[in-house]
Structure 1
Amino acid sequence: MRGTSVPAAPPRLGGLDRFNRASAGSAEAALLGCCASYRWAARIAAHRPYPDVDALLAAADEASYDLSPDDLDEALADESSPGLHDSAPQAAHTALAAAHAAYESSFGHAFVICLDAFSPAEHLDQVLSGIRLRMNNEPDEEQSIAADELRRLARARLARLVANHPESDAPSPAHRVL
């Protein structure tokens, strides 16, 4: 008599496989969590499947460089300025809030900065010095810098989205709380 075998559980898909196989709507929704430009998200979703993460990130970079001023405004409107952890001293909260308010008043959008290259202990100093430095920029120059920081943030968020963690369906926020 032959034994009955239990079918093996289907393999769990890694993040890139899951992203490549997702419906267009699901892929675009996930991408909007990385960068809130509908044109950017639709472009990346439309070019699936990607053979590897490097190809996906290269496509994301290319799509970021092609953002029109309106696309950039759309994406920046959804961003929030990096904040402090609740345990930070009140004086630090006050200084950061004032710096963000001055920046947003000058440029009309949240201050964006990718902090991936810095340790958490350096984040506050990087944000405050970044705001101080960038407040001297002309609007066109600052728009270019903000676009590059947004590209770096979107790339980091996208890399986390497709990291090989099948149980994670949404991108984690990128360094929004210091």
Structure 2
Amino acid sequence: MTPTHLPGRVAIPALPEQTRAPRSPTLLDAFNTASPEEAHHLLLTCLRSLRWARRVADHRPYPDLDSLQAASDEAAYDLSPGDLSEALAGETLPALPDGMYEAAHMALSAAHAAYEAKFGHSFVICLDGLPPGEALNHVLAGIRSRLANDPEDERVVAAEELRRLAKGRLVNALGGAGL
């Protein structure tokens, strides 16, 4: 029986293994092969939840950054209220660009204090992709609008912001999207 060929299609055989160019090791490769303690340490710099870090580390190796980010999201969606409280307790006020006016810093500090008094944890907001000059206005507007939330609604918003922060921090920790 002769093989059937589809018109317009050309079969291209795969290159033998020995002729393929070797792939350079990446930071993702280093993360995949790191000890559990090293992986946990790196992950805790992205999100300060022991359960999240353990889950993400335990599912290694990851074939690519997209898979790692998907695992990060899944683990973040599964945080219990206690895990969320632990992660929020490890957050600090977002860094703002140098050169902001003292009055702006005072306004931010006052808004942050009001937020902490109402919700009992640090305000978290992801500023990824935002031009530095817009960070202060974005943070202030975010705090002011979120102060109107009830505590349960705000926990949902804060959990989503933590998830976004963790993904961005993972990308930064592993050398960016060009792994």
TM-score by length of 1: 0.83
Q: Which amino acid aligns with 2:109?
A: A
Q: Please tell me the root mean square deviation across aligned C-alpha atoms, in Å.
A: 1.5
Tell me the equivalent position of 1:176.
none
- Residue by residue over 1:34-71, the C-alpha shift from the partner in whole angstroms, topping out at 9 and shown as x without a partner, is 00000000001000000111000000000000000000
2:20 aligned with 1:16 = no
Tell me the equivalent position of 1:4.
none
Q: Which has the higher contact order (CA 8 A, sep 6+)?
A: 1
2:101 aligned with 1:89 = yes
Aligned residues: 155
Q: Percent identity?
A: 56
Match of 2:60 among 48, 61, 68: 48
How far off its partner does 1:82 sit?
A: 1.6
CA distance in 2, matches of 1:88, 1:156: 24
Tell me the equivalent position of 1:163.
175
Tell me the equivalent position of 1:71.
83
Q: Could you tell which deviates more after superposition, 128-137 or 84-93? A: 84-93
Conserved 8 A contact 1:83-1:96: no
Q: Secondary structure at the match of 1:81?
A: coil
CA distance in 1, matches of 2:51, 2:142: 28
The structure with the largest alpha-carbon Rg is: 2
2:147 aligned with 1:124 = no
2:163 aligned with 1:148 = no
2:10 aligned with 1:34 = no
TM-score by length of 2: 0.83
CA distance in 2, matches of 1:117, 1:106: 28
Q: Could you tell which deviates more after superposition, 78-87 or 146-155? A: 78-87
Conserved 8 A contact 1:72-1:147: yes
Conserved 8 A contact 1:32-1:38: yes
CA distance in 2, matches of 1:84, 1:156: 17
Show structure 1 runs of 5+ residues with no match.
1-10, 166-178
Match of 1:107 among 119, 144, 150: 119
Tell me the equivalent position of 2:16.
none
Show structure 2 runs of 5+ residues with no match.
1-22
How far off its partner does 1:17 sit?
A: 0.4
